[in-house]
Every structure is written in structure tokens, then in C-alpha cells.
């Protein structure tokens, strides 16, 4: 038996539990499967179909905005497990899946599906699934769209071509109903893909396409999304790029002067853009108790939230690889300064790029507000989502300096206890952060980071870092 039903609890007329209810041999399966899909997926916007999609034969599926699930049939027992580790049994769609498989004399199977809310001609959203799972009367609206088979009656499908997998899916599952094969068309040209995109997405309002071909990867095709965002910070380039913008920190306005940080934008600037934006934003500095760094560890200069830019991206992510919600910081703009207000489940832009300054837009909820994300996140009860995390505690901080003629070098070692590991398992208990600055080095600022669940271990790591890097000539200037 692959599942211990005694570890599941009755919730809203179905059984629900966690990975500890599963046999150890399959506990990592949902995470491993999602990672494999992520490695094979390429995000493409609709203008890049001809340029980026490779191959000759294509299976074009309608992308469904739901929850990825693995369905496991183990003799007479059927259950589903999501990528976040939630296990469920006794849902109407699971019972229907079992009936369909048993009619074909299938005894064991692992099947990839998207669980979504069936709303007739209306598009399902991720948050519709969450709402339906919490309402017993809505459970029979949850459907399963089958798009993959991993194993079936001891035969592995993982290395087969998608053509063979799809043939098996269509023999087992109908085109419609509570459980069905995901709507898919086989085509032979990129022109056909464009036509299907126009039919299903542009005209039909669906989320996008998933394109599989005769090459060992897949494409997620969506419209190019654009958002009007408020700029709250910038980083400056170094060496030859000093005096130019490196990246911008952007967000969306919420009520009461709260700004939700949504991402960092560092591409699609011309050199003139970088120069002019630096000249513009370098005069708009503002005090801030909140510190954010770019992908290279360079701290953002925080600026007055009075400039709106258009940001384009290929996709918007809501969860990480493990199915956990992505978190966005909320900043409060008050008395001419920023302070961190809270943390909230949010978004991350995929391949964000600068499009233009929107001089015709104003800062605030109307022109640069969070309502632009209404198609991605549930905005109905934002106050329930806000999570105030415990403050971190600095355990050790030492700064060393060394000067050689005009060359200034600084090393900083800092250890802190996050106090967040119990509230959110994505946070480590302890962090060591090392900064190495050299004024005349090509890469002036270098950083390193270590994490641990044990205070004794993290302090030992800090001691070893100091012994390794602080040699003769270094002077301790702060602690």
C-alpha cells in the first residue's frame, strides 16, 4: 500500500493529509516531477513563436489555469498529491478517474493532471480551485485534465515520445467530462500554432498554450504581459557603467500608501536610457529602513514613488518549485520615507524588461495599482493574506578595512537569527553574510552567504571565514 489512509483527515467532505501519509519511495515524486517539467519548459510570448519554437511535429494543448496534481492508482486505492505535498482522496473527480481506469482494466498508474474548476465557457483561475476545495457543495465542479502518463501497470512512459504518450491518453480518457484528456491538436507548422493561439487565447480568452514537439523540451506560449509599475529604487552600474542605471525596483500600489514589491527590471534599456534614468532618479533619493539588493548583491537606492514605467514580461509566477506561494514585501510610504510593513503572497515576473516611462500615468491605485494582477491573484480579501513575520536578530557583526595608496578594501561579516523558520519553512534559522569590497577591482563588490539550522555551526562558519580572509594589514573598524 502506497498510502496510509489513517494519516488523512476528513476536510470538507474529502480526505486530506501530507506527504508523511505516503510510502517513503514516492514522497519526493511530486517535487521531482515538477522540477523535471520546469527544466523542460521554455516560456515564449506570442510574438516569439517563429523564432524560438523548434521542431516539425507539434502537439498543441490548451493551457489550464489550475493546480498540478499527480494521480496515483494503487490497486483499489486512488489518491492525488500536489507539488506542495498535499494529499487528497475521495474527491468526485478522483472517483471518476478510478472508474475510467478500471473500465480499461488498469490496476496501477501514475498520471499527470491539472485540477481546475469547470465553469462552462468561463476561464478557471488558480484561486477558483482553492475556493472550491473549501466548499463541499463545489467539489463536483473540480475537473481533471490529463496531459501526461508516468507509469501504467509496471510500464514506464517517462522516456517515450509524447506522440506515444498522447496516443495512450486518448485511448483511456474522453474529450470532455469531469475527467478528460486536455484539449490538444496535432499540427505540423508554426503557422498552425499561431492560428491556434489566436483562436484559443486572443479570441477565446484562455491562459495560453503548451506546445510539445519531437524535440525533448516544451514551450509555454502566453501573451506578452505588460504592467504599469511604480519605481521605488535603482542600482548603479560599476566601473565603465558607473553613472548609469543597472536595474530598477518596481511594485504596485495598494491602499493607504502601501506598495507591494513585485520585481527587479534590468533588461531592454538602451545606453541612453540608462544614462538618462540615472540622472533622473539620482535626484530622488528617499530615506528607508528597508534594504533590498539586486541579483549581484548591490543595494538599491530608494527613490520617491512618483514615476510609473511600463514593464513587460513573458509570464507571472505565483509559486516556487515546491508549490509554496512566492512572497512579496509590502512597503509603507509615510513621512517621506519607506518602512517594511508586512509580507504577502505575491508574484514574480519571468524575463521582465523595461518598455518605457509612462508620463501619462500617475502613482496610485488607479494607474499603477495592484488591480492589474486581478487575473493572477485573488484580491477579494487581501487583509487575510498579509503575514507579519518576526524580526531578525543580529548575533555578530564585524567590519575590517585595509588601505593601499588609493585602493580601499572593506570586509564585513554578519550573522543573524531570522526567527522566521517556524512561521515559514522557506527561511533558514541562521544566516552568515560576507561582503568583500575593493575600490579598484573590476568586480568591486563580492558577496557570499551561508545558512544553517544550528547557531553553533553558523558561528563556527563565521570564525573560519574571518580566519581565512582577515590577514596582516586589516584593521577592525566596527563590531
- In angstroms, rounded to a whole number, what is the distance separating the alpha carbons of residues 54 and 66? 27
pLDDT score of 465: 94
Q: Please compute the mean of the pLDDT values over residues 344-367 and round it to a whole number.
A: 90
Task: State the CB neighbour count (10 A cutoff) for residue 336.
Answer: 8
Q: Model confidence over 236-271: pLDDT tens digits? A: 998 888 999 999 999 999 987 899 999 999 999 999
Task: Residue 190: give the domain boundaries.
Answer: 5-222
What is the pLDDT at residue 425?
A: 63
- 214 with 146, same domain: the answer is yes
Would you state the pLDDT for residue 383? 47
Is 70 exceeded by the pLDDT of residue 17? yes
Q: List pLDDT tens digits, range 430-476.
A: 999 999 998 878 777 888 888 888 999 999 999 999 999 999 899 99
The reported pLDDT for the residue numbered 424 is 66
Q: Which residues does residue 394 pair with via DSSP β-bridges, in sequence order? A: 416
Residue 140 predicted with pLDDT over 60: yes
225 alpha carbon, distance to own chain's centre? 16
Question: Is residue 388 a part of any domain in this protein?
Answer: no
Percent of the chain with pLDDT over 70: 97
- Is residue 387 included in any domain, yes or no? no
Domain boundary among 222, 248, 265: 222
Q: Taking 90 as the threshold, does the pLDDT of residue 382 lie above it?
A: no
| 44 and 98 assigned to the same domain | yes
- Among 38, 39, 21, 19, which residue's Cα sits nearest to residue 29? 19
CA-based end-to-end distance of the chain? 58
Let me know whether 302 and 280 are in one domain.
yes
* Residues 233 and 211 placed together within one structural domain of the fold: no
Q: Is residue 382 part of a domain?
A: no
Domain membership flag for residue 70: yes
Lowest average pLDDT, out of 15-19, 22-26, 38-42, 266-270, goes to: 38-42
Phi, psi of 124 (to 5 degrees): -80, 150
Grid cell at residue 83: 507539488
pLDDT for 36 equals: 86
Q: What is the pLDDT of residue 325?
A: 82
What are 270-322's pLDDT values in tens digits?
Answer: 999 999 999 999 999 999 988 888 888 888 999 999 999 999 998 888 887 77
Report whether 53 contacts 44 (CB < 8 A). Answer: yes
Mean pLDDT of the chain: 90
CATH number at residue 296: 2.40.50.140
Predicted confidence at residue 369, as pLDDT, reads 92
Long-range CB contacts (within 8 A, 24+) of 457-460: 457/430, 458/415, 458/430, 458/431, 458/432, 459/395, 459/396, 459/415
Q: What is the CATH number of the domain that holds 66?
A: 3.30.470.30
Provide the pLDDT confidence category of residue 179 given band limits of 50, 70 and 90: very high
Domain boundary among 174, 197, 222: 222
Domain identity same for 258 and 399:
no
Contact 479, 399 (CB under 8 A): yes
Domain for residue 383, yes or no?
no
Residue 413 cell numbers, joined: 561579516
Would you state the pLDDT for residue 298?
84
pLDDT tens, residue by residue, 416-426: 999 887 766 66
The answer to the question of residue 346 being in a domain is yes
Residues 124 and 54 in one domain: yes
Of 171, 196, 222, the residue that ends a domain is: 222
Q: Do 238 and 211 belong together in one domain? A: no
Model confidence at 384: pLDDT above 60: no
Say if 379 falls within a structural domain. Answer: no
CA Rg, the chain, in Å? 26
Q: How many domains does the chain have?
A: 3
List, in sequence order, every beta strand (DSSP E) within 168-322: 179-181, 184-187, 208-213, 218-222, 225-236, 245-253, 258-265, 287-288, 301-302, 308-313, 315-317
Amino acid at each position: 500500500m502506497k498510502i496510509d489512509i489513517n494519516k488523512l483527515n476528513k476536510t470538507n467532505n474529502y480526505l486530506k493529509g501530507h506527504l508523511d501519509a505516503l510510502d517513503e519511495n514516492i514522497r519526493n515524486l511530486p517535487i521531482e516531477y515538477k522540477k523535471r517539467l520546469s527544466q523542460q519548459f521554455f516560456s515564449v510570448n506570442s510574438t516569439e513563436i517563429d523564432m524560438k519554437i523548434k521542431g516539425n511535429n507539434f502537439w498543441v494543448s490548451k493551457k489550464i489555469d489550475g493546480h498540478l496534481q499527480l494521480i496515483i492508482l494503487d490497486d483499489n486505492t486512488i489518491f492525488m498529491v500536489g507539488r506542495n505535498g498535499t494529499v487528497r482522496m475521495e474527491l468526485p473527480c478522483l472517483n471518476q478517474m478510478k472508474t475510467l481506469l478500471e473500465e480499461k482494466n488498469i490496476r496501477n498508474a501514475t498520471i499527470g493532471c491539472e485540477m481546475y474548476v469547470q465553469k462552462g465557457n468561463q476561464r478557471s483561475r488558480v484561486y477558483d480551485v482553492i475556493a472550491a476545495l473549501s466548499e463541499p457543495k463545489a467539489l463536483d465542479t473540480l475537473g481533471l485534465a490529463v496531459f501526461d502518463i508516468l507509469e501504467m501497470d509496471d510500464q514506464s512512459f517517462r522516456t517515450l515520445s509524447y506522440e506515444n504518450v498522447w496516443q495512450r491518453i486518448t485511448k483511456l480518457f474522453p474529450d470532455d467530462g469531469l475527467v478528460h484528456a486536455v484539449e490538444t491538436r496535432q499540427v505540423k507548422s508554426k503557422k498552425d500554432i499561431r492560428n491556434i493561439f489566436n483562436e484559443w487565447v486572443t479570441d477565446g480568452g484562455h491562459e495560453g498554450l503548451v506546445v510539445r514537439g519531437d524535440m525533448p523540451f516544451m514551450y509555454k506560449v502566453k501573451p506578452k504581459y505588460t504592467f504599469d509599475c511604480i519605481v521605488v529604487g535603482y542600482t548603479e552600474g560599476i566601473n565603465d557603467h558607473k553613472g548609469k542605471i543597472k536595474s530598477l525596483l518596481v511594485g504596485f500600489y495598494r491602499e493607504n500608501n502601501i506598495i507591494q514589491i513585485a520585481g527587479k527590471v534590468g533588461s531592454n534599456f538602451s545606453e541612453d536610457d540608462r544614462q538618462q534614468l540615472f540622472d533622473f532618479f539620482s535626484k530622488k533619493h528617499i530615506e528607508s529602513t528597508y534594504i533590498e539588493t539586486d541579483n549581484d548583491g548591490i543595494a538599491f537606492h530608494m527613490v520617491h514613488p512618483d514615476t510609473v514605467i511600463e514593464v513587460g514580461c513573458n509570464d507571472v509566477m505565483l509559486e516556487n518549485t515546491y508549490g509554496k506561494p512566492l512572497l512579496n514585501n509590502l512597503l509603507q510610504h509615510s513621512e517621506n520615507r519607506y518602512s517594511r510593513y508586512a509580507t504577502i503572497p505575491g508574484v514574480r515576473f519571468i524575463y521582465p524588461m523595461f518598455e518605457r516611462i509612462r508620463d501619462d500615468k500617475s502613482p496610485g491605485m488607479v494607474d499603477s495599482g495592484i488591480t492589474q494582477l486581478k487575473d493572477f491573484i485573488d484580491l477579494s480579501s487581501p487583509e487575510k493574506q498579509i503575514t507579519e513575520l518576526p524580526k531578525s536578530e543580529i548575533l555578530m557583526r564585524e567590519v575590517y578595512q585595509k588601505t593601499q595608496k588609493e585602493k580601499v578594501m572593506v570586509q564585513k561579516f554578519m550573522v543573524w537569527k531570522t526567527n522566521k523558520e517556524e512561521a515559514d519553512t522557506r527561511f533558514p534559522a541562521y544566516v552568515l553574510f560576507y561582503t568583500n569590497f575593493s575600490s579598484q577591482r573590476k568586480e568591486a563588490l563580492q558577496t557570499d552567504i551561508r545558512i544553517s539550522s544550528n547557531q553553533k555551526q553558523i558561528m563556527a562558519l563565521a570564525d573560519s571565514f574571518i580566519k581565512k580572509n582577515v590577514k596582516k594589514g586589516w584593521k577592525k573598524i566596527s563590531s
